[in-house]
């Protein structure tokens, strides 16, 4: 079975940094795009960013709200996805979900087909 387990959440002050990890198992991690999605308390879902696979040069995409502050990386040897968050703002407070991507159609338009349980990041003084 596919398993995605996030860790690293916690309380951080505005302007601080935090790193999240996602440990993947039950599938060939290196084949898949991976993404982060977040959800502020009582709010809807927001796409954060994407890491493509090795075949696509591990390229990344980011939401405008996090671009330049957040960095997605991965270690295929460890079956792990990471999210480095710098210059954190109170509006970054959310549950952060790791998702596995699957492609539909001839070209890879990737969508989440599996989700982790999430890790809570609270940015507050």
CB nearer to other proteins: give 49 or 125. 49
- Check residue 41 and report its DSSP letter: T
Closest to other proteins by CB, 88 or 95: 95
For residue 119, list its beta bridge partners. 96
Cα-only R_g, the chain: 14
Q: Is the Cβ–Cβ distance between 18 and 88 less than 8 Å?
A: yes
Q: In this chain, which of 69, 114, 120, 122 binds other proteins, going by CB under 8 A?
A: 114
DSSP 8-state assignment for residue 27: S
Which residues between 63 and 102 bind other proteins (CB under 8 A)? 63-64, 97, 102
Binding residues vs other proteins (CB under 8 A): 37, 44-47, 50, 61, 63-64, 97, 102, 104-105, 109-118
């Amino acid at each position: 079975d596919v398993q995605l387990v996030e860790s690293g959440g916690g309380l951080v002050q505005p302007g601080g940094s935090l790193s999240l990890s996602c440990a993947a198992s039950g599938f060939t991690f290196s084949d898949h795009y991976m993404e982060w999605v977040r959800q502020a308390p009582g709010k809807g879902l927001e796409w954060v960013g994407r890491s493509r696979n090795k075949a696509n040069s591990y390229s990344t995409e980011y939401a405008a709200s996090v671009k330049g502050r957040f960095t997605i990386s991965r270690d295929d040897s460890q079956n792990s996805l990471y999210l480095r968050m710098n210059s954190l703002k109170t509006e970054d407070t959310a549950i952060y979900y790791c998702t596995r991507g699957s492609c539909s159609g001839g070209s890879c338009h990737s969508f989440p087909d599996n989700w982790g349980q999430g890790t809570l990041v609270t940015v507050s003084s």
